[in-house]
Amino acid sequence: MDVLQVALGSRSYPLHIGSGLLSSTGERMRDIDFPHQVAVVSNPLVADLYAEPVMVSLQQAGFDPRLMLVPDGEDYKNLATLQLIYDQLIEQRFDRGCGLLALGGGVIGDMAGFAAATFLRGIPFVQVPTTLLSQVDSSVGGKTAVNHPRGKNLIGAFYQPQLVVIDVATLQTLDPREVSAGLAEVIKYGVIRDATFFAWLENHQDLLRQGDPAALIYAIKKSCQIKADIVEIDERESSIRAHLNFGHTFGHAIENLAGYGQWKHGEAVAVGMVVAAKIACNKGLCRTDDVARLEQLLRAVNLPVDPPDYPLAAYVDAMQRDKKVKQGALTMVLNQGIGTVLLEPVTDLAGLFSTILDLKG
């Protein structure tokens, strides 16, 4: 097991990364003096697989856990489902002396985290992510949110967990499409921060695609360390944390236009990264070889690289509603080769994207 630290002063917390950690979740929560009464928020699919070892672990460690289920899928990441969490917390008489545990993928983590941030003006919570995407991205850094029909993650809060338990054994039950979706975010870290890590991913693409435990543990640890380093500098995205949004502007537009749940988040981000890289190339920030390397690696792990055929005007409208728009300008994250990025405000979205998208307005 490896332990990383997200150093945020009084809001610091550890990330435990290893295999077979679910059965010791209660012990790890007891070590941080987590509240006795715990709401375990999950969905039926994940609960069938993993709720029992977590619940038993909590009981053995002296906690009083209550399992609370919500529907599965990105299309349920909304205020109506959030209301279901609040209802169960209130009905079971949870108070300010309670805590919450998110057991599931990014949808569960985001919704449970937002519930924790807002129930009784804030209760402590723990992240136990069960998908590759959530293990390397959404469980770390304190972003919590739900979607709105007009845009992804438009309603949310920054609220850090007290502990993250990453058990890579849960990845054995993921279907290959989910593994690929998670690898999109892993690849992103190499592009924005670490050219050596990107090259390592190129050299180990087969092992990653096949779900090799040792390769996945290394990739998860490296990804989490990069994200922790960034969050420690810029917790609330006033500067370099925005680098983590590479590929997300266009990716979120795809998710919104397709209908939430039709595209995996990582699949949409993969296309968004290629689009951003092509824009960067047109601006002379990177070479065509850099774009080709990115496309090749994404294809190698079974991710799409071409945008779906929606009208340019629809893409522009969706991007203009993105939460990163500020005073009418959208900040794009553009790569400078492989290993570093910069931020560039854009006002003429239609003009910029028409240069690299073969779409009609």
d(CA 7, CA 224): 13
Active-site residue identified among 252, 264, 278, 293 = 252
- Residues of the chain with confidence (pLDDT) below 70: 359-361
Question: Which CATH number applies to 176-354: 3.40.50.880, 1.20.1090.10, 2.40.50.180, 3.40.470.10?
Answer: 1.20.1090.10
91 classed as catalytic:
no
Q: Is 77 annotated as contributing to ligand binding? A: yes
d(CA 33, CA 148): 35
Q: Is 349 annotated as contributing to ligand binding? A: no
Dihedral sign for Cα atoms in the order 276, 331, 157, 148: negative
185 classed as catalytic:
yes
265 classed as catalytic:
yes
Active-site residue identified among 245, 256, 264, 278 = 245
> Which tokens in the block code for residue 159?
């609220």
User: Does residue 243 contact residue 230 with C-beta atoms inside 8 Å?
Assistant: yes
User: Does residue 271 contact residue 304 with C-beta atoms inside 8 Å?
Assistant: yes
Active-site residue identified among 16, 28, 43, 143 = 143
User: Does residue 335 contact residue 276 with C-beta atoms inside 8 Å?
Assistant: yes
Own/partner pairs, 300-304, CB within 8 angstroms, 24+ separation: 300/205, 300/206, 300/209, 301/180, 301/183, 301/184, 301/187, 301/205, 301/208, 301/209, 302/176, 302/177, 302/180, 302/209, 303/180, 303/181, 303/183, 303/184, 303/266, 303/267, 303/270, 304/267, 304/270, 304/271
Active-site residue identified among 16, 28, 185, 278 = 185
Domain ranges of the chain: 2-173, 176-354
Radius of gyration of the chain (CA): 20
> Which tokens in the block code for residue 50?
């993993």
Instruction: Give residue 359's pLDDT.
Output: 55
pTM here is 0.94
Nearest to 85 by CA among 108, 51, 57, 104: 108
Instruction: Give residue 326's pLDDT.
Output: 80
**Does CATH number 3.40.50.1970 belong to domain 2-173?**
yes
* pLDDT one-digit tens code per residue, 132-159: 999 999 999 999 999 999 888 999 999 9
Task: Give residue 108's region: left, alpha or beta (phi > 0; psi -120 to 50).
Answer: alpha
